[in-house]
Amino acid sequence: MTNAYPVPMGRPGIATGFSRQWWALLVGSGLVLVFIAVLPVDSIARSVLARGTGLVASLVFVCAFASLPKDVRRIWFFIGGFLVLTAVGDVIYDYQSLILNVSAFPGIADVFYLMTYAFAIIGLILLARTLTPGADLSAWIDISIMVVAAAGIVGAFVIGPLWTSNDQWDLATVLSLIYPLLDLVLLAALVRLLMLPHARNASITLLALSMGLFLAYDLIYNNQLLAAVWTPVSAMEIVWTAAMLCIPLAILAPGARHFESVDPAHAGSVTTTRQLMIGISAMTVPAIVLLELSITGSLILRWLIPVILILLALVLLRMHLLLRTSQQQAAMLAEFQRRDLLTGLLNRQTWDEQRSDRAAAARAAAGVVTIAILDVDDFAGHCEAKGDQIGDLLLVSATIAWLSELTKDDVLVRYGTDEFALLVQRPSMAEAQDVLRRVVRATPEGIAISSGAALLRPDEDPLDAELRAERAMRASRTDPRMKFEYPQDLTS
């Protein structure tokens, strides 16, 4: 008799691969970017293609949004609002500057652009809170380091010069100061998303890429504002359009319909990416200051600059090694707490926590799943007669003998002082019984055990099968053979 169970194929309604629509959009996006690159800069045709692409991207997003589950719609609503408002603002901006031939800054388009920041920031914050519901002080400290570093650069090279070079304040000056400040807030929300470990999927990665491209565009734009010149180079339009196209790609990508929360045990872990971002942020401002001093300073200072930078790099490297060591030690401690100190097997607490998951994994492999209980007879008598150390050696030798008959997919647990639990999955009932009998026969000479096993029925709680195995084990104390408590007698 064999019992086969279907292999689960993931959560219902969640895509496990890229759809045809996603690939079609990706290919179309690549072609659009190529055409934008070859069309003349600042031409009507180039503007129509770029603005039309933004509107089409918005339409694709709206169609995909309509089929999303309710639990993720609130996040994607704000991301979609960002995309649609940006597309509309671009159309208004180009219409004023290219068709009406009037100054579009400041103008009506800025109303839409300012609203996009609110939608993008709220969307990213909601996504981050969904992935990590709890508070994480260390994450906010790291974010502060990066944002303060970025604020120093923006203040020194954008806000400061604009502030000091304008004798009279007008709307254009105010907006030129507001945009970089909003970029810093958007950067903070994006950094929080990027720092989450084990949370990123294709959808989140594309969304983060989109926001990163928008920020890169703004950085170049603000740099040109500082020089009081705007050069509409081809690469700029490509970056902007690519940023917009990443959003419909993100909503069509796997993972967009469901966001898995980060395991709280890993929420505060410091990944290599996070360390790199912190290190770059910590070194950016000192490096710029030292560079400025090297240009205007003395020869001695110029020699000291590379020494200081090397020292900073070594300090950051040392911090990285310390953090990695502490994380490895924490992982080792967690594994240590899951194991029985004497035998190295999983302990009872871990078994109670993982029983259902391990049984489900065994069921998914198709076949029969059996839970057995092994009890060393008169273990207390052994310890009293020969000592606790001999009793410990007895348990260790039995464990080694039993493991020799098992595979890596079988689970052997230190169930109690002298009891062990065993989970075995095999394609057929006969093979499972054969494994269990070989385990019993492998018991070292001089050790007597009582053993019982129970078949895990479909849809049965593994704990119920475990209790039936215990009853069978107690019944075997009057009979040295393993007792099998199956739906029907198959022991003959």
pLDDT for 385-441, tens place per residue? 888 888 888 899 999 999 999 988 888 998 888 889 998 888 888 888 888 889 988
In the chain, domain spans = 20-261, 270-338, 348-485
Q: What is the dihedral of CA 382, 385, 388, 394, to 10 degrees?
A: -40
| Homologous superfamily (CATH) for 348-485 | Reverse transcriptase/Diguanylate cyclase domain (3.30.70.270)
Of 29, 47, 54, 96, nearest in space to 234 by CA: 47
Per-residue model confidence as pLDDT tens digits over 183-232: 888 988 888 887 775 556 889 989 989 998 998 888 777 666 555 555 55
Phi, psi of 368 (to 5 degrees): -115, 145
Of 407, 409, 420, nearest in space to 344 by CA: 420
pTM: 0.58
In this model, does residue 14 exceed pLDDT 90? Answer: no
Interhelix angle 44-65/20-38, rounded to 10 degrees, is: 170
Token couple for 452: 């019982």
| Of 430 and 157, more confident | 430
Exposed / middle / buried, residue 376 (Cβ in 10 Å: 0-12, 13-18, 19+):
buried
Of 344, 476, 355, nearest in space to 422 by CA: 355
- Within its chain, how far is the Cα of 26 from the centroid? 23
| Of 173 and 316, more confident | 173
Per-residue model confidence as pLDDT tens digits over 61-97: 999 999 999 889 999 999 999 999 999 999 999 999 8
Phi, psi of 227 (to 5 degrees): -85, 0
Q: Measure the CA–CA gap between 425 and 429, rounded to whole angstroms.
A: 9
Query: Helix H segments across 132-259?
Result: 137-154, 160-165, 171-194, 202-226, 234-252
pLDDT-based confidence at residue 483 (cuts at 50, 70, 90)? low
Per-residue model confidence as pLDDT tens digits over 33-53: 999 988 887 788 999 999 999
pLDDT of residue 26: 95
In this model, does residue 304 exceed pLDDT 60? Answer: no
- Torsion region of 228: left, alpha or beta (phi above 0 gives left; psi -120 to 50 gives alpha): left
pLDDT of residue 3: 33
pLDDT-based confidence at residue 123 (cuts at 50, 70, 90)? very high
In this model, does residue 360 exceed pLDDT 90? Answer: no
Per-residue model confidence as pLDDT tens digits over 329-357: 777 777 777 888 888 898 888 888 888 88
Mean pLDDT computed over every residue of the chain: 79
Token couple for 492: 């003959």
Q: What is the CA radius of gyration of the chain?
A: 32
Query: Is the Cβ–Cβ distance between 61 and 50 less than 8 Å?
Result: no
* For range 255-267, the mean pLDDT: 69
**E strand or H helix at 196:** none
**E strand or H helix at 449:** strand 449-455
- Give how far Cα 49 sits from Cα of 97, 122, 341, Å: 16, 30, 68
pLDDT-based confidence at residue 114 (cuts at 50, 70, 90)? very high
Partners of residue 413 on adjacent β-strands:
346, 421
Query: How many CA atoms lie less than 13 Å away from 98 in the CB half-sphere?
Result: 16
